[in-house]
Amino acid sequence: MEIRELSPAQALARLHAGALLVDVRAGHERALGMAAGARGIAREELEAAPGQYLPDPDAEIVLICQGGRRSQLAAQALAARGYRNLCSVAGGTAAWETADLPMLRPGIDADFGERYSRHLRLPEVGLQGQQRLEATRMLLLGAGGLGSPAAFYLAAAGVGTLRIVDDDVVDRSNLQRQILHTEARIGVAKVESAAAALSALNPRTRVEPLAERVSSDNVERVLDGVDVVLDGGDNFAVRYLLNDACVKLGKPLVHGAVHRFEGQVSVFDAGRQRGRAPCYRCLFPDPPPPEAAPNCSEAGVLGVLPGVIGMLQATEALKLALGLGESLAGRLLHFDALAMRFRETRLAPDPDCPVCAAGRPFPGYIDYARFCSGQ
């Protein structure tokens, strides 16, 4: 059956004359905005039970989707079920908006809808997920090689609050990989430089810069109120400290590390999954000797490598915030840039771990600098 098409202006006129305007897009699509006066009924639901939504088969029904194709198909399905007065809007909602006809954006402002439109089109994210991201608070330790790409993508994705902790200042040698910073901000505190870059990218994200070094004395204050922790440092003492604090406080820790041409990523979530997920100490019960683990300033690092690892950390952090997919908890992902190869190692919780073993009380913070120096 040939379904008559109306222009958006003609559809609006029929709406004013008493026709039913039905938007057959999915809910996450309608969240981006829909024709004012339209009733939202997803095509699948409408076709499954048309009588539930449209009891009068003689009523004038105008269907609209995003571009015009789905509304045509929905109209044909309704015609086959006995509906006799059907039209479809040519060009759909896109044409309606281009014609500057009235739009309804329930619960969101224009900036939110435009900025996050690609997330809002994902059924797995949608409006509810994006609002969840906007309510999420994340801690990023380090505004350097790993923290730079992670922070950029987390802010761009719409994470509501990023607390960034780093006590260093921007140096010219950082610019080869630490893309948050610029030549003009050499000598500026890294957290202030990061705040400037991220605010320019997305002013909706609140940046909390903390220009201090994390220690046993302040770690719980630094982690207070955050939902996800990302380790973007290259200091073993702080890695162990963050791990222990996250186990104690029940926060997921997204781990990342780089060395020369190789990197690794994992999620340590033992604080919330005692006995089921490992912590960092389960993987490395004892730190390597200092001579076996030089940092980037001593061993060097391929400039793009922290970008790959930091981006993977941001991906894991977003999945944790949204409750999507399978996290890297219990898995260590290795990346070899020279071979362009990933490999995965399965990690099991250590039943005798001094920090995360099931039923074991928190042992307290230690002298992590001394622990990592092997003294």
3-state secondary structure of 209: strand
150 and 51, same structural domain?
no
In this structure, what CATH number is given to the domain that contains residue 62? 3.40.250.10
Q: Is residue 116 part of a domain?
A: no
352 and 211, same structural domain?
yes
pTM as predicted: 0.84
Q: Are 164 and 193 in contact (CB under 8 A)?
A: no
Q: Is residue 356 part of a domain?
A: yes
Higher per-residue pLDDT: 241 or 292: 241
Mean pLDDT computed over 116-130: 91
DSSP assignment of 305-343, as one string? HHHHHHHHHHHHHHHHHHT-S--SBTEEEEEETTTTEEE
Among the candidates 106, 140, 165, a domain finishes at 106
Q: Is residue 119 part of a domain?
A: no
196 and 53, same structural domain?
no
29 and 131, same structural domain?
no
Q: Is residue 114 part of a domain?
A: no
Give per-residue pLDDT as tens, 71-109.
999 999 999 999 999 999 999 999 999 999 999 887 788
pLDDT of residue 125 exceeding 80, the answer is yes
Q: In this predicted structure, what is the pLDDT of residue 2?
A: 83
Half-sphere exposure of 365 (CA within 13 A, CB side): 21
Q: In this predicted structure, what is the pLDDT of residue 296?
A: 59
8 is in which domain, residue-wise?
A: 4-106
132 and 81, same structural domain?
no
Q: Is residue 188 part of a domain?
A: yes
Give per-residue pLDDT as tens, 196-213.
999 999 999 999 999 999
Q: In this predicted structure, what is the pLDDT of residue 339?
A: 98
Q: In this predicted structure, what is the pLDDT of residue 235?
A: 86
Q: Is residue 118 part of a domain?
A: no
355 and 297, same structural domain?
yes
Q: Is residue 57 part of a domain?
A: yes
pLDDT of residue 293 exceeding 60, the answer is no
Higher per-residue pLDDT: 123 or 7: 7
178 and 316, same structural domain?
yes
User: Can you tell me the distance from the alpha carbon of 187 to that of 175, in angstroms, rounded to the nearest whole number?
Assistant: 12
46 and 9, same structural domain?
yes
pLDDT of residue 257 exceeding 60, the answer is yes
Q: Which residues contact 350 (CB under 8 A, 6 or more apart)?
A: 278, 281, 282, 285, 356, 357
Among the candidates 106, 139, 173, a domain finishes at 106
pLDDT of residue 223 exceeding 80, the answer is yes
Give per-residue pLDDT as tens, 313-362.
999 999 999 999 999 999 999 999 999 999 999 999 999 999 999 989 99
Among the candidates 106, 140, 170, a domain finishes at 106
In this structure, what CATH number is given to the domain that contains residue 206? 3.40.50.720
Considering the candidates 65, 296, 353, 372, report the single residue annotated as catalytic.
Answer: 296
Number of domain units in the chain: 2
159 and 307, same structural domain?
yes
Q: Is residue 117 part of a domain?
A: no
- 53 token code pair: 């939504």
Q: What CA–CA distances, in Å, run from 366 to 216, 217, 237, 241, 355?
A: 8, 11, 10, 8, 11
User: Can you tell me the distance from the alpha carbon of 45 to that of 49, in angstroms, rounded to the nearest whole number?
Assistant: 6
181 and 82, same structural domain?
no
Q: In this predicted structure, what is the pLDDT of residue 314?
A: 98
236 and 134, same structural domain?
yes
Q: In this predicted structure, what is the pLDDT of residue 289?
A: 66
279 is known as an active-site residue: no
Q: In this predicted structure, what is the pLDDT of residue 294?
A: 60
Higher per-residue pLDDT: 29 or 324: 324
Give per-residue pLDDT as tens, 152-186.
999 999 999 999 999 999 999 999 999 999 999 99
11 and 151, same structural domain?
no
